[in-house]
Amino acid sequence: MNLVLFGPPGAGKGTQSEFLQAKFGLVKLATGDMLRAAVSSGSPLGRQVQDIMAKGHLVSDIIMINLLQQRIRLPDARRGFILDGFPRTLAQAEALDRMLEDEAMRLDAVIELKVDDAKLIERIAGRFSCAKCGAGYHDSFRQPKMAGICDVCGSKEFIRREDDKAETVAQRLQAYHKKTAPSLPYYKRRGVLVSVDGMADIDEVAHQIEEVLRANKKIAKKG
Ligand code: AMP
């Protein structure tokens, strides 16, 4: 099954795609993670996108489409994938369709996590992650089980994203509303869009997504 998790920054795409990855063996393809890895390694791509990301702007379609194309061609994507953070423009959505067609793959569902802006700002302000394995946490909603120790890998080092600062978040939300949300009608017309209430707590959202996937499988079987 190939999925897109669609929604504004802070909607829970990263958290939910981690669950889907663990539960269904799907491969998480998070373009933001790919770019952050490029920035940390100091690669030419990293140097090219660093400032754009720090300002909360979108990286150009041409860079992003190339990046995803290379990743989707790797054999593990055949197991089924969850896209987190791509597409972010209509041009990327259209390019994704072409890419999948070339690889004889298809998109099964686009799951939109609907969350209002005030909630997003609250969520982003408190989030942090393990510096070693990337597991995500939150000051109010998802603390490590043992204070200061990562549940997954035991590391004691945590980081906060540079672009989670309030002024950058405002820019990222603006980019979502102006450039990303306009792809929703494209997916609606194709009949693959399902909207989930992303305001609910993490487990409830995960449950709703699972229901969507089950329904999707039923449809696939009948068809
Ligand atoms: P994310 O981790 O998905 O919130 O992405 C972090 C940042 O990476 C975004 O604010 C953008 O600057 C950049 N980025 C990630 N994915 C894309 C994309 N598909 N198109 C354009 N920029 C992207």
Q: What does pLDDT average to over the chain?
A: 93
Beta strands in the chain (DSSP E): 3-6, 27-30, 81-84, 109-114, 127-130, 136-138, 158-159, 193-197
* Residue 137, SS3 per DSSP: strand
Query: What predicted TM-score, i.e. pTM, was given to this entire model?
Result: 0.91
pLDDT tens, position by position, 119-165: 999 999 999 999 999 888 999 988 999 999 999 999 999 999 999 99
Which CATH fold topology does 2-26+79-216 show?
Rossmann fold (3.40.50)
| Tokens (6 digits) for 149 | 């120790």
Q: Catalytic residue at 172?
A: yes
Q: What is the predicted pLDDT for the residue at 89? A: 98
Work out which ligand 1 atom sits closest to the CA atom of 60.
21
Q: What is the predicted pLDDT for the residue at 173? A: 96
Q: Is the dihedral of CA 104, 105, 108, 110 positive or negative?
A: negative
| Nearest-10 crossing angle of helices 44-54, 31-41 | 120
Residue with CA at minimum distance from ligand 1 atom 11: 58
Residue 216 CA to ligand 1 centre (angstroms): 28
Among 53, 69, 169, say which to mutate for ligand 1: greatest number of ligand atoms within 8 Å of CB.
53
**DSSP classification of residue 131:** T
Residue 119 CA to ligand 1 centre (angstroms): 20
| Whether the predicted pLDDT of 221 surpasses 90 | no
| Tokens (6 digits) for 59 | 């990286």
Q: What is the predicted pLDDT for the residue at 214? A: 87
Contact indicator for 45, 38 with CB cutoff of 8 Å: yes
Among 5, 34, 35, say which to mutate for ligand 1: greatest number of ligand atoms within 8 Å of CB.
35
Contact indicator for 16, 112 with CB cutoff of 8 Å: no
Tally the residues of the chain. Answer: 223
| Whether the predicted pLDDT of 112 surpasses 70 | yes
Residues with CB under 6 A from ligand 1: 9, 31-32, 35, 52-53, 56-59, 64, 85-86, 88, 92, 163, 172
Percent of the chain with pLDDT over 90: 88
pLDDT tens, position by position, 80-108: 999 999 999 999 999 999 999 999 999 99
Q: Catalytic residue at 13?
A: yes
Closest CA to 6 of 146, 166, 163, 190: 190
Report d(CA 67, CA 28) in Å as an integer: 14
Closest CA to 192 of 107, 100, 78: 107
**DSSP classification of residue 200:** S
Residue 111 CA to ligand 1 centre (angstroms): 18
